[in-house]
Amino acid sequence: MNPLEIIQTCYHPESRAYEILITHSRSVADKAVAIAETHPEMELDIPFIREAALLHDIGKAVDHEVEGSHAIIGRDLARKYGEAEEIVYAIGAHHGDQLPKSVLDVLVQSA
């Protein structure tokens, strides 16, 4: 599923919360991609990095309804929407609730 479609299932596209999340998430995605692009020798999957970064804060949509940190809630939401396990893990690790174990995790956390 397209990351923006996932975000739109959790936020009304015309809401202020959606606007704030999209602005922030695009900024994080741009930074993560910029960092990745400085290392072409690593042959990183740029669209995959962008997708993980766009979704990193998806848990904020329901963190007031569900117990736990937004990173772990977001991890669970991403899994529910069928995201790749690497993206799921990166979302869960972006605030240190899980230890980063891949370059993707570090990029999303750092950006």
pLDDT digits (tens, 9 = 90+) for 81-102: 999 999 999 999 999 899 999 9
Residue 78 has pLDDT above 90, yes or no: yes
Task: Compute CA 72 distance to the chain's CA centroid, rounded to the nearest angstrom.
Answer: 11
In single-letter form, the type of residue at position 39 comes to H
Instruction: Give the three-class secondary structure for 77.
Output: helix
Residue 63 has pLDDT above 70, yes or no: no
- Percent of all residues in the chain with a pLDDT value above 70, rounded to a whole number: 99
**Element (DSSP H or E) covering residue 70:** helix 70-80
pLDDT digits (tens, 9 = 90+) for 19-54: 999 999 999 999 999 999 999 999 999 999 999 999
Please tell me the predicted confidence (pLDDT) of residue 64.
72
Spatial distance between the Cα atoms of 41 and 35, rounded to a whole number of angstroms? 13
Residue 107 has pLDDT above 70, yes or no: yes
